[in-house]
Amino acid sequence: MTQWEVVIGIETHAQLATRSKIFSGASTAFGAAPNTQACAVDLALPGVLPVLNKGAVDCAIRFGLAIGARVAEKSVFARKNYFYPDLPKGYQISQFELPVVVGGAVTIPVGQGDKAYEKVVRLTRAHLEEDAGKSLHEDFHGKSGIDLNRAGTPLLEIVSEPEMRSSDEAVAYAKALHALVRWIGICDGNMQEGSFRCDANVSVRPKGQAEFGTRREIKNLNSFRFLKEAIDFEVQWQINEIEEGRKIQQATVLFDPDSGETRMMRTKEDAHDYRYFPDPDLLPLVIGADWIARVQGELPELPGQKRERFMADLGLSAYDATTLTANQESADYFEAVVAVAGKANAKPCANWVMVDLAARLNKEGKELAESPVSAAQLGGLILRIADNTISNAIAKKVFEALWSAEGASADEIIEKQGLKQITDSGAIEALVDEILAANAANVAEFKAGKEKAFNALVGQVMKAAKGKANPQQVNELLRRKLQG
């Protein structure tokens, strides 16, 4: 059996969060009545000329700096020629030979638990271009309806190197990129509205082979789930084709979410020949060092910087730091928890956010922003574990109580429900004596060398204490008494 290796590269179109279009002064607001935001430039009326939006360039520079790329001192707009009714000029203004952003990389966390790892995915380039309009094919007496509101909306097309090796890595990359463009405020990331969409180039090759296999491009995936499903289906399809002796033809395919299958849109033979050439209507875009320095000064602390700080200042592991900085919401939440619980408790804070809270949110299908337990409440709870007011086991109870709003704070719940840990050694000793007297059989077993019997006795004491006895003290006392 041949072992197959999957090779994936991703092209992402991120709509930039500007007020106006990339080459005209029309609004980019989503949801307006058809064609009310399509001006003469967007409609390609004769005699109009494009004028570049400085805000769109600002976004491209922000992105370039955030991924450690080179921001080109000089980049050039080119015409990509093809005919489609939602592209009135007959060409899309894009960038070809000289893009605005070159290189860079993103660090992505892949997988969960023991199988989790980090990977650096390099980027090839990112370039500015304009979006097309929308075609509506339903019910216009055999005709198509064209809405050009979206025509001319600024896009940043972000192209990765073909460095992902599984659908999980592809999704992790797409999520990391999605979080980053939102983090630096250049894209609202709304996938339903098409603000962030991915094309996946997928090929397979026998493990160990140096050359890439022939790739097929899956177009327009607008959710992380579809991205994964489409790639998984495509990979299996390609492997089957090759194993049955057929060759993969380079092609563009679409994913049908209803059937879960990819189907061919066009093969290489009838693929577009775009005949790129520099757009004579636009001069080269020159970005000086002063402009880059200004944008640099306006950038927030980036995920990578925050990650380093979490490791250096708070002593978190690389994996924890990457996971917590995977998006702005979780980083902010975690920092707010630490602000209450203190830096010394950063590690338990990370665990509570990444494990307990994440699992609870997941169970309810909620986002972090909708968490019924606030960062301040969680921080307060962690403080009480740290100062031995409650045990970890009881803390989970308190967390549940916070979740269902049984009290405003951990302190209130601990007080109201009498969950304070028993640390008074006299009280614990009384409990231990009581249990030892009542469980002679277990005691005998332990003395005969059965360590399991000890755990049973601990369990009995904890039960008698309703879980509130300090587990460490119970252990020590019990062992002392049994061995004494």
Residue in 19, 246, 416, 463 binding other proteins, rule: CB under 8 A: 19
135 binds other proteins (CB under 8 A): yes
Select the span of 130-138, 162-170, 226-234, 316-324 touching other proteins (CB under 8 A).
Answer: 130-138
Cβ atoms of residues 428 and 473 within 8 Å: yes
Cβ closer to other proteins: 250 or 374? 250
Nearest approach, Cβ of residue 279 and other proteins (Å): 9
286 binds other proteins (CB under 8 A): yes
State how far the Cα of 301 lies from the Cα of 304, in Å rounded to an integer: 8
156 half-sphere exposure, CB direction, 13 A CA radius: 28
First to last CA, the chain: 63
Select the span of 13-21, 189-197, 446-454, 471-479 touching other proteins (CB under 8 A).
Answer: 13-21
39 binds other proteins (CB under 8 A): yes
Cβ closer to other proteins: 146 or 422? 146
List the interface residues with other proteins, window 443-482 (CB under 8 A). Answer: none
State how far the Cα of 173 lies from the Cα of 458, in Å rounded to an integer: 47
DSSP annotation string for 262-318: EEEEEESTTS-----EE-TTSPPEE--HHHHHHHHHHPPPPHHHHHHHHHHHH---H
β-pairing verdict for 277-278 and 77-81: antiparallel
Cβ closer to other proteins: 216 or 307? 216
Nearest approach, Cβ of residue 287 and other proteins (Å): 9
Q: Can you tell me whether residue 331 is helix, strand or coil?
A: helix
16 by Cβ neighbours in 10 Å (0-12 / 13-18 / 19+) ranks as buried
185 binds other proteins (CB under 8 A): no
**Amino acid identity, position 174:** A
- Total residues binding other proteins (CB under 8 A): 53
DSSP annotation string for 424-438: -HHHHHHHHHHHHHH
148 binds other proteins (CB under 8 A): yes
25 binds other proteins (CB under 8 A): yes
Residue in 12, 15, 24, 92 binding other proteins, rule: CB under 8 A: 24
HEC secondary structure over 442-475: HHHHHHCCCHHHHHHHHHHHHHHCCCCECHHHHH
Cβ closer to other proteins: 95 or 327? 95
Residue in 103, 111, 185, 278 binding other proteins, rule: CB under 8 A: 278
Helices of type H across 184-288: 224-243
338 binds other proteins (CB under 8 A): no
Select the span of 241-249, 273-281, 323-331, 395-403 touching other proteins (CB under 8 A).
Answer: 273-281
Structure tokens at 243: 């194993």
Residue in 15, 37, 222, 460 binding other proteins, rule: CB under 8 A: 37
Nearest approach, Cβ of residue 175 and other proteins (Å): 28
Nearest approach, Cβ of residue 18 and other proteins (Å): 5
Compose the 77-116 pattern: x for residues touching other proteins by CB under 8 A, - for all others: ----x-xxx------------x------------------
**Rounded to the nearest 5°, which phi and psi values hold at 42?**
-65, -30
157 half-sphere exposure, CB direction, 13 A CA radius: 16
Residue in 10, 14, 57, 186 binding other proteins, rule: CB under 8 A: 57
27 binds other proteins (CB under 8 A): yes
Cβ atoms of residues 378 and 353 within 8 Å: yes
295 binds other proteins (CB under 8 A): no
144 binds other proteins (CB under 8 A): yes
State how far the Cα of 451 lies from the Cα of 461, in Å rounded to an integer: 16
Site residues (vs other proteins, CB under 8 A): 18-20, 24-27, 33-40, 43, 45, 51-58, 74, 76, 81, 83-85, 98, 135-137, 140, 142-148, 265, 273, 275, 278, 280, 282-286
